[in-house]
Chain A
Amino acid sequence: MDANTVKNLRAILTLHFALIAVLTATLVSYGSGSAFLPLFILIVCVVGFLIVDSLEWFALNRFGVFIGMTTGTAFAVGSYAYNTFSIASESGQLQAIAGLLVFPEAVLFMQRKNLRVFEQLAIFLLLEIMVAALVNDNLLFGILLLPIVLLWVSSLFHFSRYATLVQIAPHIEVPMPKLFEVLVAQFVKSIMGAERPKGIVESKLVSSPENRTTPSYRRILQSIPLGIGAIAFSALFFYFLPRTTAGGYRPKLNQQVRVGLPETMTLGQVGRALQDPTPVMRVKLTHDASAEAYTILEGPYIRARVYDHFTRMSDTTRWDLAPSKFVYGPIPDYARLGADATKNRDRVRVEFDLLPNCQTDSFTLPPTFLPRGGRKPNATINTYTQLLQPNQQNDEERHLQAYTLGSMDYLNGRQLDILPILPVHDSDDISRFLRAHMGNLVDINHRDFPSVELLRNRIIREANVAEGESLAQAKAIEKYFSQAGEFKYTLDLTAAVDPKLDPVEDFVANQRAGHCQFFASTMLVMLRQSAIPSRLVLGYKPHEFNSYGQYFHVRQRDAHAWVEARFSSRDLMGTDYEQWIAPNSEYWIRFDPTPSVSDDEVIAQPNQFTDYADKLWKGYVLEGRELTGEKSIYAPATEQSKNMYAQLAEQWAKLKEDLASGKFGTEAGAIGFAWPLAILVAGVGMGIALLWQLIVNLPRFAPKLAKRIGMSPRRTDFHQEFFSRCVRILRKFGFEREDSQTPQELTREAADYLAHEKGVESSKEWLQFLTQSYYRIRFGGGRPLNDQDQVAVQTALKSLEKSAAKLPAQKR
């Protein structure tokens, strides 16, 4: 065996494993933000390949390997302890876990390669991919999975060849013996007292020119369809694996909750959020009936928090939800919604797809109902805030990673700013509670806001609104802030504030510039000064639209605050809201006093294709929501298997009862087994099997018929390929060998025809030589042709082929 072949094979394998190691280390450390591990393993691989494998200047011996492995492991464990107990860095912990695999790999790359080293490398790399899947669930994993699998297949291709060569000739490598093996050998020697007896046969592989080695590039090419096949199988396995739940939410090791909206809000908090571009979620609106995309004209007001309690603190103002008996109930079906929640409204389905770094928020677009499809949230709804309350207790289960809700907040693509206080018509108890609670919504300390009071009076005066016209007053205040231009929208909050004043008072008296939270808080104060029950709502108003997925991409900087004020149907009579109101009802009207800026326009999301691909990756792979949704291929099975265990237990109990009472089998008909269907399926199956057998055995039973319809198997070709080729060439001239014809008779006939009819005189000589060669092998003990004869045979065949090519394809 050629030593260079084995050396090349080792080098190719090392290169493959090095590439896999670098790619896998990249995947593992992608989320940690550090490039140390990929760079480290890259350098080790390059150095190892050059010095250890190519130049063979250096290789770690057994002692070196022991020292290297111990040091690497100790370093990784120490690093993990340091990052856990000392600095509490999750990314550091991740690096340490990855290091536990990468450092031993580095030691293996510095060893002289043999079968065992390659095996150990493969196991470490497999485990590293598993860690990568645990810590890195983004699209990069999916993108790199195919090349990594292809590299794996290609390396295993070479590995199988290497293992075969080592099996044939173990001397081609001298593996570093394990301590255990050395001890066993010593023990055996001491017991046996002699070396292994000499064999009585020596066997040696002889390289044959006929049996050429497949070039390495062909093995790499062969691995491509196999790798793609493995991925395809994986896809089938993944999507056909029956499951009843989607992939659970698991915070990744390096994942921190970074976005969301606070339960208690102070002025200025939203300002920081407004400068944070971190993605929060994707929101898609579709028609509930047709599931087609629902076109809207501007970004939706997505509700996240409701604040109704106002506290003046030493240097700021704090908003929160007053602690009171909030009323929770199941999310209503569409049928349970009242007329004032459904009249003149479009039925829209909203899919909320929260990104993993979003905290446990629930978002709604009320009035809310349970739609027909989609992933239903396991939560109840707070009738007062119109927000969801997850049913589960622990944080992991509380997190509503993705859910679908119905919304009646739209009409012809425009979001309505009127919301019935009680969307569900049968909630009288809740109604009484809410009416009692409404008194808190005008609670305010008037002495804290003299400038605000002055401004409110001016606005109402200038708008010529009577004191009793509460809706008109609110509209006037909203219009003033959004259009008058006396107050500016800014995120620059560096101007000095007066700590003695309430921030809202300071905003009106001194600053006159701020973001949505200031505008909304000021209007809220003004509304309460006018004794209009009102509350502050915080949520998102996105403006980046993804045209591929037809959804809004919501970022943290899309956070927005607005005001909701309560009005009775009497207040709303004769206004634009009349078409949505019902008698003796109450409504929340949304007011957004923030001046519009150019950023509010709906724009195309930057890098929208990448984000859409990421959404698909998340939906179809990470969470597998699409697997359990109504479009899933096994949705019926999911539906059927919901109470499967309970049903099975029940049936088992019944069976035991029947056995005990002696009724077993007497009610067989009641099982409801679909006998006709079973017979049909069995009949079709048997029919197919019979047909197949008929096709297979037809040439045996009816050879003439099989021949006539072209199902007769071809006559066995000649064992010698060169003569088969010769016969194929003759077939072009219309010479088909008859059953009673010997090869010589065939070629003689063909030679006569070619010589006399076609003028190819030399064909006689070629065909005679080919036939003689064939006979010599066939009847001469099977000895192969020597080199000279082979050349002569090929020459004769080529000449014959050339003649065939020159002549027209005319049949005899």
Chain B
Amino acid sequence: MDSQASNASQSYSGWLWQRWRRKRKRDRARNLAIVRFRLTREGWHFLFVLLFIFVGAVIREINLLILLAGTMIGLLNLQWRFNTRTLQGLKVRRRIPTRTMVGVPTDVSIEITNSRRWLGSWLVLAEDQLQKVEPNVKRLTEKGVALIDEVQPQRSTSARYELRFLERGRYRIGSTTISTLFPIGLGRGWRALDNSVDLMVHPHLGKLLPACRSLLHVELEGNAKAVPRASVHEGEFYGLRNWQTGDSRRWIHWRTTAKRGELSVRQFEQLQRRQLSILLDLYQPKTKPSEAERQAVERAIAFAATLATELVSRDRDRLAFAIAGESVDVLPNVQSVVLVHDLLDRLSEVRPSAAPNLVDAVSQFRLSLMRTPVLLVISTRPDQFAALRQELEHGLSQPYFNRLQVRWLNASNGELEPYFQWQPPT
């Protein structure tokens, strides 16, 4: 009996909860659709003069001033009506890539569709709020701004703006605010849209120098022959995605296309040739880091990113990657472009730490190291492997350590310079 009562009360509270959620969703959608209006600085000046004239007209019974005040009220009224009407019924669509790179200009296109039958929209300003979400949250003063001069009724017009990021990370683009000063700039009408998307900004890549190639070649020689060659196919089947211009018709997956009603194509992974294990040790003192220390971290990340891009994307090699920063992240098999993107995404968001957990990283790395006992440590501090070895001895067997070849590169004292050329973007 009690359980029945409690079930009933639970279902009733659940119903209430659902109802409240639906209402909140509805209200939110309604608020987003509402065009808000605010006087501009010029509008306030105008209103002040208008009040001055109107009060004078009423007190002194001067009809000409009432006429003048009426004209000014008419202008304000028209501003308000046009402002709000201009923005109602506009649909905004943003086109933006999901990934970009530090220092590389990124085109963002904003298309505005005017679904009204007869009234056009003019002077529409689309502003995208920018926010850095990872590795640290930061609201940016800069905005992505596109100006659309005119959108005719039942037409679409697009405008573009360009973003150039100077720091890696995950950025939130949006929400978009469309606003207009049309027609006479006395007030600004605006509408906020719920269309924010995340954009991953990958680290700025550098250039691998020939010394790096020769070094890697020597270390990877033993594994290169063991890799099977590519077959007649493009690679191993990896997944499905939407069809894009330029895709071969042979890649279309007709069954999925029929299911979804949209063209879908298969994706393939390229086969690897060589193997390498990389441990990225991102150490940064807890106290306020100096510019040089920050640069060292960025340089180390950039080197790792460049290595992954060059070796996997171009040379079809296989990497095992461990990142030891504020948290430990391990990618044991980086062997395709898609996985490189995944790695770069993680590198974009990674935060350095005062105490990177190298033990945990290497422990998670163990299988890869057993297969490929060549470990390249990219660090921001001097060689710590001796201490690390002592800690690891409990978990790993002696033969394993005997096979392990470790190369420790300290980015903070210029050990990367013979292998890597990199300039932070300005």
A residues at B contact (CB < 8 Å): 119, 122-123, 126-127, 129-130, 133-134, 137, 141, 145, 149, 152-153, 156-157, 159-161, 163-165, 167-168, 198-206, 208, 210-214, 222-223, 226, 229-238, 241, 245, 247-248, 250, 621-624, 717, 719, 721, 776, 779-784
Contact = CB atoms under 8 A, between A and B. Distances in A.
Nearest to A241: B66
Interface string B147-175: 11110001111111111111100010000
Interface string B12-28: 00000000000000000
Given A137-B64, A201-B165, A211-B157, A168 B263 contact: no
A123 B41 CA distance: 12
Contact of B49 (A130, A152, A233, A237): A130
B60 A250 contact: yes
Contact of B60 (A119, A211, A248): A248
A367 B262 CA distance: 96
Given A164-B147, A233-B78, A238 B66 contact: yes
Contacts of A784: 158
Interface stretch (B179-187, B275-283, B333-341, B412-420): B179-187
B231 interface: no
B296 interface: no
A37 to B, nearest CB: 20
B74 A624 contact: no
Contact of B184 (A123, A159, A232, A621): A159
B48 to A, nearest CB: 9
B142 A199 contact: yes
Contacts of B78: 226, 229-230, 233
B86 to A, nearest CB: 11
Given A211-B149, A212-B149, A621-B67, A247 B62 contact: yes
B166 A238 contact: no
B244 interface: yes
Nearest to B112: A211
B383 interface: no
Contacts of B69: 237
A122 B68 contact: no
Contacts of A164: 123, 125, 147, 181, 185
A205 B46 CA distance: 30
B29 to A, nearest CB: 18
Contacts of B185: 156, 159-161, 163-164
A234 B45 contact: no
Contacts of B52: 130
Given A233-B73, A233-B78, A199 B61 contact: no
Interface string B46-81: 100100110010001111111111110111011000
Given A130-B53, A203-B142, A203-B144, A230 B71 contact: yes
A622 B262 CA distance: 70
19 contacts: A157-B184, A161-B181, A164-B125, A164-B185, A168-B145, A199-B140, A201-B163, A201-B171, A202-B166, A203-B161, A203-B162, A204-B164, A205-B162, A210-B157, A231-B74, A234-B68, A238-B63, A250-B61, A622-B63
B244 A780 contact: yes
Given A168-B147, A780-B263, 12 more contacts: A130-B52, A159-B184, A159-B185, A164-B147, A200-B165, A201-B165, A206-B159, A230-B74, A233-B73, A234-B71, A241-B66, A781-B242
Nearest to B107: A206
Interface in B299-338: none
Interface residue SS majority, chain B: mixed
Contacts of A203: 130, 142-145, 161-164
Nearest to B71: A234
B240 to A, nearest CB: 14
B184 A153 contact: yes
B46 A126 contact: yes
A26 to B, nearest CB: 16
B147 A234 contact: no
A620 to B, nearest CB: 9
Contact of B156 (A157, A168, A223, A721): A721
Contacts of B105: 204
B96 to A, nearest CB: 12
Of the listed residues A167, A719, A782, the one surrounded by the most CB atoms of chain B closer than 10 A to its CB is: A167
B243 interface: yes
A163 B40 contact: yes
Contacts of B183: 153, 156-157, 160, 222-223, 226
A208 B145 contact: no
A130 B143 CA distance: 41
B113 A719 contact: yes
Nearest to B122: A214
B42 A159 contact: yes
B217 interface: no
Interface residue SS majority, chain A: helix
B185 to A, nearest CB: 3
Of the listed residues A164, A226, A622, A779, the one surrounded by the most CB atoms of chain B closer than 10 A to its CB is: A164
Interface residues of B, number: 76
Contacts of B45: 119, 122-123
A57 to B, nearest CB: 30
A688 B93 CA distance: 38
Given A230-B75, A250-B60, A250-B62, A201 B184 contact: no
Interface of B: 40-42, 45-46, 49, 52-53, 56, 60-71, 73-75, 77-78, 82, 93, 95, 105, 107, 113, 122-123, 125, 130, 132, 138, 140-150, 154-167, 171, 181-186, 242-245, 262-263
Contact of B245 (A208, A245, A783): A783
Nearest to B146: A205
B65 A782 contact: no
A234 B72 CA distance: 8
Contacts of B182: 160
B184 A776 contact: no
A237 B184 contact: no
Contacts of B262: 779
A780 to B, nearest CB: 5
A366 to B, nearest CB: 31
A222 to B, nearest CB: 7
A122 B60 contact: no
A310 B56 CA distance: 49
A201 B103 CA distance: 9
Nearest to B49: A126
Nearest to A233: B74
A784 B160 CA distance: 13
Nearest to A156: B184
Closest 3 CB pairs of A and B: A160-B185, A233-B74, A156-B184
B137 to A, nearest CB: 13
Contacts of B67: 133, 145, 234, 238, 621
A253 to B, nearest CB: 12
Contact of B73 (A119, A156, A237): A237
Of the listed residues B53, B71, B75, B185, the one surrounded by the most CB atoms of chain A closer than 10 A to its CB is: B71
A133 B62 contact: yes
Contacts of A233: 70-71, 73-74, 77-78
Given A123-B49, A204-B161, A222-B183, A134 B245 contact: no
Contacts of B73: 233-234, 237
A208 B66 contact: no
A230 B163 CA distance: 41
B42 A202 contact: no
A622 B60 CA distance: 12
Nearest to A118: B42
A129 B53 CA distance: 10
Contact of B61 (A159, A229, A247, A776): A247
A238 B145 contact: no
A357 B222 CA distance: 113
Nearest to A234: B70
Contacts of A719: 113, 156
Contacts of A159: 42, 184-185
Nearest to B167: A200
